[in-house]
A and B are shown apart, each in its own frame.
Chain A
């Protein structure tokens, strides 16, 4: 932070050198990419808790952890997703066992941390207030649980900061990492987010009537809500010069970020998407890019009637006449809404799209909502003639918006 800087590099060129993910498609980036590309969707009946009395019965649940994976005692599902993701990301970056120290920072997001474990603890306590339920069960309930677990795992001694701005948490965490690298606060930033299924969010979104009984269909005429998912996404970020000097493979550039607030309503987006559009414009400005350079958008795209309409309005405001020519996809259509970690996993997927020069599809069900005027990537992946620059958006409860601009890297 300010006041105690070392010699600050002026290069704003921050690159991605490692990725790690845990999603309903499995433990790893490869199963995620293969699943997305295949386009079948991973939203299905699930078993993490009993959903029989809930209004809806589907979610995108992460399969059991890999055999032999070791975690800290008492770690929550969210912690494990986070730790496994960072292990993969550091392996990919060639930094396994070599990421510790005071110039490594962890910037993480989570909206509920270990809430699932807290619910179990509370259930025991309510059943018998005198019960000596071990509070140790709650150790990882805290929202900083997954980020702290990651920092301990890698031995980070630089800033370790957790953000919990609902569904924008992951994108805000990546934005914070980008700035810390630009300022020279850290040489290496592990940025990401993790969230696990829990009854609180499942019932809460259902109470708001925001969950679709079928798998969610973002931007489709018959869309009826979101599908809830779980998982984690982690990106390893560093300055280009450092990545090149250690011979790392550069996957993409994190070119810009911005966050804004609708200051309008706790759960409903500002209908014209004013706040979201400002976030997109500011992120492009931060990246030194123009809307004309954007080759595709990984939209927030929850599948709720209001969100998708507001987001489409924001895209119209930013891209104007170009909107019909910009492919739009929503990762949530396949792996559900990962809430706090959605922005992190979607940034990671956007990097993969740039690396592979194609936009992953959404499952094909449902006709596009013609009123939104978007070019949706449905059913089949879309090769990109030009894979230069992409936008990933996150729009959250409380009106918190965040946008990230990612650039293709020739070296990738």
Chain B
């Protein structure tokens, strides 16, 4: 059996700002962290959504000097800063002498520089293409920059599996450490939400257009997610190593699984709740009681429906523990399932979901109502991706 792997650090840059305290406070309030999107380019539908969970003028100075930041795209900046934050919490000032791997998920990569480069090509022709935009627009730019900034010379893997990516990166990073190929794994996700990407998601009707644009996971009238951005990075180590150097783990990774629903379409969720539910049930039965579910539900019609049906199938129709929906606060693509899962284990409170009004009679799953519940010993993190991929992880108090 592989050695047990623990999380010893968490770093987050997102619509909440910088760091875990601000994030925990935001989860406790339960209000979406939404701000206006720049619609001046005219890409947006007039009746479309106007808000996103954007990263504001976050001060990364403590983690990333401006002279370094200016050479990086936003996802790279946030990922480097969040990784340093996580390492500081882990008490690993540097990675000297440690084999460190990076497993970083991104749904869309460095969209801003990709757009800039494509626009140069289309507006002015290929002669205008700037090399800097190209080297920072590859999907693995953030993972590469994290490795360069921290001297992480182990495997450097970028996972691009939409909403399921962060949990896949967590699981694969944990295996890298558990199986002894690395001493430390820096895992997580980084994404940015540009006006154009926001407009496209809106044209797909993926984003909520409801009054106030507050996403309503599992609500009968949910009509889309709040598009978000940010980076959430974790430090993983073998438990014995963490204990030996006196670190206090935030969580232990008890198990993980991933699966695919072939009934999905390229841009939406499918109807394969039975297949996915069976996989979840196997994992749950192997691992024992779960005290809370940190759901990837974000307010989309079909994504939340599938999530609810899979959870119910995974629990054999029995009563579910509290279902927390961090993406109602930080939006989609900000790594909310990872940070929400760790903060839930740490005993953070989660306020009522601001936009939730009425249960969906088909789903029979409701988001946690904000009442107090015992600090969980073990949580399930769940993320189903548009396109068919699914990933779960079980985290427990170490």
The complex places the Cα of A264 from the Cα of B145 at a distance, in Å, of 9
Contact with A along B242-268 (1 / 0, CB 8 A): 000000000001111111111011110
Instruction: With both chains docked as a complex, state the minimum distance between the C-beta of B395 and any C-beta of chain A, in angstroms.
Output: 11
Q: With an 8 A cutoff between CB atoms, is A307 at the interface?
A: no
Given the contacts A129-B42, A263-B148, A398-B156, A166 and B140 also touching, CB distance less than 8 Å: yes
Asked if B266 and A265 sit within 8 Å, CB to CB, the answer is no
Name the CB-closest residue of A to B119: A126
The complex places the Cα of A323 from the Cα of B171 at a distance, in Å, of 38
The complex places the Cα of A135 from the Cα of B385 at a distance, in Å, of 18
The complex places the Cα of A154 from the Cα of B260 at a distance, in Å, of 11
Looking at the complex, which of A23-31, A136-144, A298-306, A352-360 is the stretch in contact with chain B? A136-144
Asked if A163 and B267 sit within 8 Å, CB to CB, the answer is no
Interface residues of A in 272-304 (CB under 8 A from B): 275, 278, 282
Asked if A208 and B144 sit within 8 Å, CB to CB, the answer is no
Asked if A1 and B256 sit within 8 Å, CB to CB, the answer is yes
Q: With an 8 A cutoff between CB atoms, is A266 at the interface?
A: yes
Asked if A156 and B140 sit within 8 Å, CB to CB, the answer is no
Query: Which of chain A's residues have a CB closer than 8 A to the CB of B136?
Result: 266
Query: Which of chain A's residues have a CB closer than 8 A to the CB of B159?
Result: 161-164
Looking at the complex, which of B214-222, B277-285, B353-361 is the stretch in contact with chain A? B277-285
The complex places the Cα of A163 from the Cα of B387 at a distance, in Å, of 15
Contact with B along A381-400 (1 / 0, CB 8 A): 00000000000000011111
Q: With an 8 A cutoff between CB atoms, is B376 at the interface?
A: no
Q: With an 8 A cutoff between CB atoms, is A349 at the interface?
A: no
The complex places the Cα of A259 from the Cα of B156 at a distance, in Å, of 7
Given the contacts A102-B278, A162-B159, A199-B126, A2 and B174 also touching, CB distance less than 8 Å: yes
Asked if B139 and A143 sit within 8 Å, CB to CB, the answer is yes
Instruction: With both chains docked as a complex, state the minimum distance between the C-beta of B353 and any C-beta of chain A, in angstroms.
Output: 28
Q: With an 8 A cutoff between CB atoms, is B398 at the interface?
A: no
Name the CB-closest residue of A to B125: A53
Asked if B255 and A144 sit within 8 Å, CB to CB, the answer is no
Q: With an 8 A cutoff between CB atoms, is A149 at the interface?
A: yes
Given the contacts A259-B155, A396-B140, A157 and B147 also touching, CB distance less than 8 Å: no
Asked if A144 and B387 sit within 8 Å, CB to CB, the answer is yes
Asked if B125 and A164 sit within 8 Å, CB to CB, the answer is no
Q: With an 8 A cutoff between CB atoms, is B129 at the interface?
A: yes
Instruction: With both chains docked as a complex, state the minimum distance between the C-beta of B118 and any C-beta of chain A, in angstroms.
Output: 6
Asked if B126 and A397 sit within 8 Å, CB to CB, the answer is no
Interface residues of A in 139-192 (CB under 8 A from B): 139-140, 142-145, 147-149, 151-152, 154-166, 172, 176, 179, 183
- Interface centre among B155, B172, B204, by most A CB within 10 Å? B155
Asked if A165 and B157 sit within 8 Å, CB to CB, the answer is yes
Interface size class of B (residues with CB under 8 A): 35 or more
Asked if B260 and A162 sit within 8 Å, CB to CB, the answer is no
Query: Which of chain B's residues have a CB closer than 8 A to the CB of A152?
Result: 262, 264, 388
The complex places the Cα of A400 from the Cα of B150 at a distance, in Å, of 14
Q: With an 8 A cutoff between CB atoms, is B135 at the interface?
A: yes
Query: Which of chain A's residues have a CB closer than 8 A to the CB of B118?
Result: 118-119, 122, 199-200
Q: With an 8 A cutoff between CB atoms, is B143 at the interface?
A: yes
Q: With an 8 A cutoff between CB atoms, is B153 at the interface?
A: yes
The complex places the Cα of A318 from the Cα of B174 at a distance, in Å, of 29
The complex places the Cα of A4 from the Cα of B192 at a distance, in Å, of 33
Interface residues of A in 100-150 (CB under 8 A from B): 100, 102, 106, 110-111, 118-119, 122-123, 125-126, 129-130, 135-136, 138-140, 142-145, 147-149
Interface residues of B in 145-173 (CB under 8 A from A): 145, 147-148, 150-162, 168, 171-172
Asked if B255 and A206 sit within 8 Å, CB to CB, the answer is no
Instruction: With both chains docked as a complex, state the minimum distance between the C-beta of A316 and any C-beta of chain B, in angstroms.
Output: 20
Asked if B155 and A260 sit within 8 Å, CB to CB, the answer is yes
Asked if B126 and A1 sit within 8 Å, CB to CB, the answer is no
Name the CB-closest residue of A to B200: A135
Q: With an 8 A cutoff between CB atoms, is A242 at the interface?
A: no
The complex places the Cα of A123 from the Cα of B226 at a distance, in Å, of 26
Name the CB-closest residue of B to A159: B258
Given the contacts A54-B126, A164-B139, A156 and B260 also touching, CB distance less than 8 Å: yes
Contact with B along A192-228 (1 / 0, CB 8 A): 0000000111111111100000000000000000000
The complex places the Cα of A120 from the Cα of B131 at a distance, in Å, of 21
The complex places the Cα of A144 from the Cα of B267 at a distance, in Å, of 10
- Interface centre among B107, B141, B174, B387, by most A CB within 10 Å? B387
The complex places the Cα of A208 from the Cα of B172 at a distance, in Å, of 33
Query: Which of chain A's residues have a CB closer than 8 A to the CB of B117?
Result: 200, 203-204
- Which of A100, A110, A136, A208 sits near B131, CB closer than 8 Å? A208
Query: Which of chain B's residues have a CB closer than 8 A to the CB of A206?
Result: 126, 129
Asked if A148 and B266 sit within 8 Å, CB to CB, the answer is yes
Interface residues of B in 256-310 (CB under 8 A from A): 256-262, 264-267, 272, 275, 278-279, 282-283, 286-287
Name the CB-closest residue of A to B205: A135
- Which of A55, A100, A125, A143 sits near B160, CB closer than 8 Å? A143
Q: With an 8 A cutoff between CB atoms, is A68 at the interface?
A: no
Asked if B126 and A165 sit within 8 Å, CB to CB, the answer is no
The complex places the Cα of A200 from the Cα of B123 at a distance, in Å, of 13
Contact with B along A359-371 (1 / 0, CB 8 A): 0000000000000
Some 26 contacts from A to B, beta carbons below 8 A apart, are A1-B255, A1-B257, A2-B174, A2-B255, A125-B196, A126-B122, A142-B387, A144-B389, A157-B259, A157-B262, A161-B159, A161-B161, A162-B159, A164-B138, A165-B158, A199-B126, A204-B117, A205-B134, A207-B129, A260-B154, A261-B102, A267-B135, A282-B181, A397-B140, A398-B138, A398-B143
* Residue positions of A touching B, CB distance < 8 A: 1-4, 53-55, 72, 74-75, 100, 102, 106, 110-111, 118-119, 122-123, 125-126, 129-130, 135-136, 138-140, 142-145, 147-149, 151-152, 154-166, 172, 176, 179, 183, 199-208, 258-267, 275, 278, 282, 396-400
Other A-B contacts than A1-B258, A144-B385, A261-B152, 9 sampled, CB-CB below 8 A, are A4-B282, A4-B286, A4-B287, A119-B121, A129-B42, A160-B161, A183-B175, A396-B140, A398-B156
The 9 closest A-B pairs by CB, nearest first: A3-B255, A398-B144, A204-B134, A129-B42, A261-B156, A160-B260, A259-B155, A143-B160, A164-B139
